[in-house]
A and B are shown apart, each in its own frame.
Chain A
């Protein structure tokens, strides 16, 4: 524990030093990024050791705040979330050092690094806090530091807009958490997590109320549909290494919070699991469909975060159903699949966001319809992006396949055993939903990689793209290697989930062990097949090389069906590639089309554009916030912009409270 706290101290110190370095961007980068790299590297040691089975540790200091105490703890669950958090933060810090350099002329990088390091520290603190007040302070710090990072380029209007959306959403979520924690604290008689976990026999209605509040509060951070609206706005607006951290690990703190809350609530009723499965399927399908309709690479990736949170939630939901209906195999496989997907998503989504950052760095645009052919000019970024794309599509032999395999396996095992409808229906829905999500995700990443990196450049910027430097390529290689390692030797990682699962409700380390052992055997065989694919690829490459060794190998233009003057603009674009899918789901996507058709014998200008705004944002939040604004607008008379007046309000309020207390 002391090591972890020291490590976080170093990160914080690095951030403060960067802020103090002020005008010298170079010094600020060295101090800020250096602090993060050293601190995260150091912090990985205790995090890994607790996941690998060393005893949980804690630290308790009294704190001069009502209900508060500096109580932190490191158990397997915290450790499991800490590992990807620290790892991705470390790599993102290295990457950010080079990525932010072009901004150095017009921005203070000291501030950017201060907020980045503060974000890292607060995320870690959220994961280890064992006191409500400490947790909420860390939670708020996390929200605010990421808000300042999202609005890094605040001179652009759309970035400010995204920042405000994020700020409002995260605070609405926190409001639910506040109520939830107050309810929990009242029944436990304490603000300490340990005491909350010790409460037995929470009234079912109260437990369910707390569960729903947690679902909304933590779900807003995680990006459950329909609370996800901030996500596709904020993630593209932030600098890419921050997007990677936010999408890869920060939103997972929502999942962590939900799991931690579940440990307080005692045995779950089956309907909690059903709700999670429903949310998982909705988020998954919604996320991937909207991702398909996007033209902006980072926006597409942000919607995929919604999809992957859906897959994680689906796994956890099946696990919860398994716990409540006493089906240990489903419980273990569901939870294990969901948790492993947390780690996997951090790896491949971190990789993809950093890859998108390199594209932006090298071309200056993220509009897929202006990109193309980048694999030739950015070979390292392209190859690693392909690894990430294949991994997120769940293809063997990469890591995405492993976690989806576990969730599928849990669902299929349930379907084969003759169980009750209460569990068969969610399992069957899970299978169908995962299959659809998998197919659509493969389609979407074929589009993302194919349109951006393959074919001919669709514009000037893509034609003049340049590859990123080593500080940006290194993290890409590291994350791609991580995807391959988890994909190729999954069983030790799945085995090490044992202690983590032991912390969840209704699970014990002993009972999970045997199921995981059996699954490890199956994964080993699946990996044998994956290894066979790799061996066959090698064999076929050699075979083709030998066949072609003494024969003519020519280069020519692409076959264009006899048309003599093809140009790059005739290629399929991201919108045309996705068009059959978007029109099939048009009822739901509501894509807007602006068409100026060519007219006359010698057509002049004609144009076509599509745009797919978020249906929840347009349909729910915009009208709701419009109504609130109209109502609250009447209170504007109170707000005159004079500090004296506001002080008067404060005094009057205090006076009223005092009278109320006395009386």
Chain B
């Protein structure tokens, strides 16, 4: 492990909230507004960290554990995720499984914390979250299997480093399918449109936002920061796949990776501006579609 391995987690820790700022500015641009400052989430986090807390009388320690376990899980996942060709601090065969299950751990505790409030709105959000996650999981695992086959490795860093322009020339269609499937998983897992509208104001229609309704102060800061990091890690996988800049110089590769991340944020903003939200009963079809794309990609690379 060399010094450059510290780059991917450091970039995530510092820049993850910026990604949401970029998405929001893009959406504002499409809507013809100026939008909030790029650094708004940083301001929000600092404000929240300085506040006190209010807990519901119904809740138990599970509610208080939710944000902490969630943030800890996604922070631990950071050490496994590369940024473009720059490898992560820790890489071993099968780390993709650890990565996926850490996100599961985060979700499991968020859902339990939501049920702990005893609110039917939060129960509703929790119920939808587990459904979409269960359907997104096979798409993620099969997509990663296709990439793993292509690169002959089971660690995220090596898998992504093995994708270069030549791979795109020879395996373009399969990689394109995987990228599309991972894109859908990214939108669903991070509660973006067309699956969930992060800007909605009606509790009935929310998924992720409604599960964290009862948090305030440092807990809400943990939740928001955790969500930003989750968006970062999944976007980093996608960017590693579709930005095959492999110069061999870590700083240049990292710069290309960061540029890719910012473009991904712009792309998410553009998707969110141009798509209406799907009806809830339609979302499973989208996710099953992603599963089918991943499976097709796997068939194509195995052929």
Contact = CB atoms under 8 A, between A and B. Distances in A.
B137 A438 contact: yes
A450 interface: yes
Given A443-B134, A454-B62, A544-B218, A572 B127 contact: yes
A624 B137 CA distance: 38
A558 to B, nearest CB: 4
Contacts of B302: 415, 421, 424, 428
Nearest to A288: B134
B62 A386 contact: yes
A547 B94 contact: no
Interface string A550-563: 01111111111100
Contact of A454 (B79, B116, B145, B154): B116
B148 A584 contact: no
A553 B54 contact: yes
Interface residues of A, number: 83
Nearest to A445: B108
Contacts, number: 256
Contact of A532 (B76, B133, B151): B76
Interface string B61-88: 0100100110111011001100000000
Interface string A435-460: 11011101100110111001110000
A231 interface: no
A557 to B, nearest CB: 6
A609 B213 CA distance: 30
Nearest to B69: A537
Interface stretch (A64-72, A130-138, A393-401): A393-401
A440 B118 contact: no
Contacts of B135: 436, 439
B115 A551 contact: no
Interface in A566-603: 566, 568, 570-572, 576-581, 584
B131 interface: yes
B61 to A, nearest CB: 8
Nearest to B150: A416
Interface residues of chain A: helix, strand, loop or mixed (majority) = helix
Interface residues of chain B: helix, strand, loop or mixed (majority) = helix
A422 interface: no
A447 B134 CA distance: 13
A617 B226 CA distance: 46
B51 A416 contact: no
Interface size class of B (residues with CB under 8 A): 35 or more
B131 A584 contact: yes
A373 interface: yes
B166 to A, nearest CB: 18
B79 A446 contact: no
Contacts of A373: 58, 118
Interface stretch (B12-20, B98-106, B191-199, B252-260): B98-106
Most buried by A among B59, B62, B120, B291: B120
Contacts of B59: 558
Most buried by A among B65, B92, B94, B122: B94
Interface string A129-148: 00000000000000000000
Interface of B: 49, 51-60, 62, 65, 68-69, 71-73, 75-76, 79-80, 90, 92-98, 101-102, 104-105, 107-108, 111-112, 115-124, 126-128, 130-131, 133-138, 140-142, 145, 148-149, 151-154, 203, 213-214, 217-219, 222, 280, 284, 291, 295, 298, 302
The 5 A-B pairs at the shortest CB distance, nearest first, are namely A572-B123, A439-B134, A450-B115, A455-B118, A443-B130
Interface of A: 372-373, 375-376, 386, 390, 393-396, 401, 405, 408-409, 412-413, 415-418, 421, 424, 428, 431-432, 434-436, 438-440, 442-443, 446-447, 449-451, 454-456, 521-522, 525-526, 528-530, 532-534, 536-537, 539-541, 543-544, 547-548, 551-561, 566, 568, 570-572, 576-581, 584
